[in-house]
Structure 1
Amino acid sequence: MTYALITGASKGIGKSIAEELAAKGKNLLLVSRSEETLNELRLSLIQRYNVHVAYLAIDLSAAEAPQLVSNWCTSNNYSIDVLVNNAGYGLWGPFEKVSLESHQEMLQLNMLTVVQLTYALLPELKKHASSYILNVASTAAYQAVPTLSLYAASKSFVLLFTRGIRLELEGTGVSVSCLCPGPTSTDFVTRAGMSLAIQKKSDTFSMTSEAVARIGVRGMYNHKAEIIPGLLNKIIVAATAWLPKYVTEKIANDLYKK
């Protein structure tokens, strides 16, 4: 019996990816902070899809969390052939107005947890003839985003890390993909502390988490390097390749300023 391990699985894109995989008959390991929410999701997925589901409630922004997740998998003999590094969040505002501690906690989750968990579980993933890693980044990875400067930088890191190890792992049976959604109907904007005006702008262009998850899972199984859901998001990312950086960064600045 094999499992897909999903971080940040209790809500948003992570929850929708769990739903999408369960609908395909995939057994799941759900990792997030909220035990009550995880247990409710576990029971719902078991009832609707008749799959095996286990969960671990843990704060993934803690430096020791990835090793604890790996230990949990080992002690329970969970065989993992899909790893979805989805957990992450943003902090909105001028760089110097957000506490350094808050910046560091976000960077730990968005980058180091992804690296540490991938490193810890890669030997297990390589045991299978075919396995998958899906790292969740953002269209923010393709240009600097003022007032979301460290978030965008962290997602750029995830994208480049994904592309690098994708080539390293060619021929091993491990396929590595990066999902780069644009605005999505989750609590990202609220969690980041953005203004109501920005929330309204975001809602205009948002995709549902279900649509993003469906495209992401399909792209993962089709071995795509980068998965960009939605035509508008594809156009925006393509534009960053040929427009001067100042132009795309100015557009991002205008979108996310107060």
Structure 2
Amino acid sequence: MSYALITGAAKGIGKAIAAQLAERNYHLLLVDIDEKSLAATAETLAAQYHVNVHTLHQDLSAPDALSNVTGWSSTWHHSLSVVVNNAGYGINGPFEQLTLQEQFNIIDVNIRAQVGLSYAYIPVLRQFPKAYLLNLASTTAYQTVPYLNIYASTKAFALSFTRGLRYELRHSPISVSALSPGSTDTDFVNRARMGDYTRNVANRFNMTPEKVARIAVDGLFKGKAEIVPGFTNKLNAWLPKFFPKLFVEKIAAGIYEPKEKETSTVALTA
């Protein structure tokens, strides 16, 4: 009986990854801040895949989040061989116009929680002949993104951290991978009150969370270092290195700069 733990599992990519793992006969430990959606997801996955699903309602930016998650999951540590740090979010808008606290919260979820959970679960994962750790990055990790500055910066950290950790654990039974999705068809644009222009640009390149998750889990079990789903996303990750940084920044700013009469603060979830 093997278990997988997934954060940010109530909706979107996290929910789809949980479904992919359940399809592969993993029992699930699901963590999310959205208690109602988390319960609905757990019920759906348990009924569809006939696996055990346990949930924890937790805000990963809270000071006691790490101890709460690891304390709760300890019951299943003897069977926990997959950990997916999927939770993450960002805020779209000029840095100086967003509150410092909400930007610190992004850092707490996207960096502090990911680092803390990776650190906490490495000893757990080491007990198996083969185990897997997947950290969520983003195609924004490969370039500077004005007006999505803190989010993109945390994803650049996530990518670098995960690659470094992968190298350090190369002789261990733990395979470490980074997932860098691009625009994905979840309802975060509705929750985010995203402006029409940015929404329309994103819609042109959207992948379904199910397709992203399938590629992610296949890549994870194949031991890939970086998993970038979709040809367009691969181009977006690869091409910026060949152009002047200022040119790339202008292109990104043109997409994410809040337009006149549009909301200047937009919350995004990974």
- The TM-score range, normalised by the shorter chain, is over 0.9
Instruction: Provide the aligned length of Structure 1 versus Structure 2.
Output: 258
Question: What is the match of residue 266 of structure 2?
Answer: none
Q: Cα 1:163–1:82, aligned 2, differ >3 Å: closer, same or farther?
A: same
8 Å CA contact retained: 2:6, 2:29 = yes
Q: CA deviation at 1:185?
A: 0.9
Aligned mates of 1:117, 1:143 — CA distance in 2: 26
| SS of 2:80 mapped into structure 1 | strand
Gaps in structure 1 of 5+ consecutive residues = none
Per-residue CA shift, 1:74-118, capped at 9, x if unaligned? Answer: 145552110100001110000000000100011100110000111
| SS of 2:92 mapped into structure 1 | coil
Question: What is the match of residue 243 of structure 1?
Answer: 243
Larger deviation: 233-242 or 209-218?
233-242
| SS of 1:220 mapped into structure 2 | helix
Q: CA deviation at 1:2?
A: 2.0
- The alignment status of 1:87 with 2:87, answered yes or no, reads yes
Aligned mates of 2:45, 2:149 — CA distance in 1: 37
8 Å CA contact retained: 2:3, 2:76 = no
Runs of 4+ residues deviating >6 angstroms: none
Question: What is the match of residue 110 of structure 2?
Answer: 110
Per-residue CA shift, 1:220-239, capped at 9, x if unaligned? Answer: 01100111111011112111
Scaled by the length of structure 1, the TM-score of the pair is 0.96
- The alignment status of 1:201 with 2:189, answered yes or no, reads no
Query: Percent of aligned pairs with the same residue?
Result: 47
Aligned mates of 2:129, 2:68 — CA distance in 1: 26
Question: What is the match of residue 215 of structure 2?
Answer: 215
Question: What is the match of residue 255 of structure 1?
Answer: 255
Question: What is the match of residue 43 of structure 2?
Answer: 43
Aligned mates of 2:204, 2:189 — CA distance in 1: 13
Question: What is the match of residue 134 of structure 1?
Answer: 134
| Aligned positions of 1:11-26 closer than 5 A | 11-26=11-26
Larger deviation: 184-193 or 200-209?
184-193
Aligned mates of 1:55, 1:252 — CA distance in 2: 37
| SS of 2:6 mapped into structure 1 | strand
Question: What is the match of residue 146 of structure 1?
Answer: 146
Question: What is the match of residue 262 of structure 2?
Answer: none
Gaps in structure 2 of 5+ consecutive residues = 260-270
Q: Cα 1:157–1:190, aligned 2, differ >3 Å: closer, same or farther?
A: farther
| RMSD across aligned positions (CA) | 1.3
8 Å CA contact retained: 1:91, 1:193 = no
